[in-house]
Structure 1
Amino acid sequence: MKQLLLFLALSTTVFFVSCEGDPGPPGEPGINILGQVFEVTVDFTPGNNFSQLVNFPSNVEVFESDAVLVYLLEDVVPGNNGSIDVWSQLPQTFFVDQGTLVYNFDHTFLDVRLFLDGNFDLSTLGSAFTNDQTFRIAVVPSEFANSELSMEELLKSMQIENTEIQTISN
């Protein structure tokens, strides 16, 4: 009798484990926990007080706990397979003839403010430092953030290709 009960118990278990029903409806789209990067080109002028406010694109959701990293395109150099962008993480300091110039930023979960700071009259700067300045802004969940990442390391850790970076107009 014990053997018959054991056989029935095992048979029932195998029967219920092997059953499969209809798949349920698809769930909500997942959240990109690896972060997002976008690019913007701005001009710093006396009219905007050498400051530009950049709103996050509507498809970029930023939480107060996220880290926001900003990189300045400093140069484009020739490489074996085309040109290579040279990115420097902000804040970035330059020593110019007039004094010390700093590219810097601050942010909320709604926007990023890019600005120039210096120990001299910024209106004496040439257009090389003020016009058509390109920045990459990375929104990184805090658990993935490392303030010492280069642009290449950041994109690799976030699994983002250069071709996937959204350019926004300001």
Structure 2
Amino acid sequence: MKKILTLFAVVGLFAFTGCSNNDDDVDYDTISGVFDVPNVSFTSENDYSKSVPNPSQYASDVILVYRSAGVETNGNRIWKLLPETYFTDDRGLDFTYTFQFSRDYIDIFMDGYDLDGVNSSYRLNQVFRIVIVPGDFLGTNKSVNKADYSDYNAVIKKYNINDKNVKELK
């Protein structure tokens, strides 16, 4: 009889213990950031590139770079994820905005042929936004709800990044 009661107790323990569905945990110890790089002009003098210091603190951080493609009627900027390629009808002036980064620098540049011939509205006074998404060294941060990195607002929401106090990099 004692063995049956023990068996029922063990089975009851497993039956009434379930998985937690609490996914409201907030990570307060990771460091993320949002930085603007304003007034970037791509010319032959700067080899159609802009280099800024990398503000990331950890080697595992992920760097995303967005370009301001305009402003909505409510005043919010429209951000497009790099690399971003344009195919123009006039004279075949195809070009790409892209970036690369190292531990020390983030390089934003235009790539293509005859970049001086690209309309100045695409080359001069561009605004870029750098978003630092905290990474993890082990790669165990697997999620069913992956962020759509091409959507700036989805990234900000997914990683709970505060983009109200944006710092400028020059």
The two structures share one fold, judged by TM-score above 0.5: yes
Instruction: Quote the residue 2:52 is aligned against.
Output: 54
Range with greater deviation from structure 2 (65-74 or 146-155): 146-155
Contact persistence 1:51–1:116 (CA under 8 A): yes
Task: Determine if the alignment matches structure 1 residue 93 to structure 2 residue 85.
Answer: yes
Q: Aligned letter for 2:30?
A: I
- Residue 71 of structure 1: CA displacement? 0.5
Contact persistence 1:72–1:135 (CA under 8 A): yes
Identity of aligned residues (%): 28
Distance 1:105 1:45 in 2: 16
- Residue 64 of structure 1: CA displacement? 2.2
Contact persistence 2:93–2:115 (CA under 8 A): no
Instruction: Quote the residue 2:161 is aligned against.
Output: 160
Structure 1 length-normalised TM: 0.69
RMSD over equivalenced CA pairs, Å:
2.2
Mapping of residues 14-163 of structure 1, within 5 Å: 33-41=30-38, 42-56=40-54, 60-78=55-73, 82-96=74-88, 97=90, 98-118=92-112, 120-143=113-136, 148-149=148-149, 150-163=151-164
Contact persistence 2:148–2:154 (CA under 8 A): no
Distance 1:166 1:72 in 2: 16
Contact persistence 1:67–1:139 (CA under 8 A): yes
The higher radius of gyration belongs to 1
Distance 1:166 1:148 in 2: 24
More helix by share: 1
What is the total number of aligned residue pairs between the two structures?
132
- Residue 39 of structure 1: CA displacement? 0.6
Contact persistence 2:147–2:154 (CA under 8 A): no
Distance 1:77 1:126 in 2: 22
More strand by share: 1
- Residue 75 of structure 1: CA displacement? 1.0
- Residue 157 of structure 1: CA displacement? 2.5
Could you tell me which runs of 5 or more consecutive residues in structure 1 were left unpaired when the two chains were aligned: 1-30
Deviation string, structure 1 residues 35-69 (Cα, Å, up to 9, x no partner): 1110112111100010110113xxx4432221111
Distance 2:163 2:126 in 1: 18
Could you tell me which runs of 5 or more consecutive residues in structure 2 were left unpaired when the two chains were aligned: 1-27
Contact persistence 1:68–1:139 (CA under 8 A): yes
Structure 2 length-normalised TM: 0.69
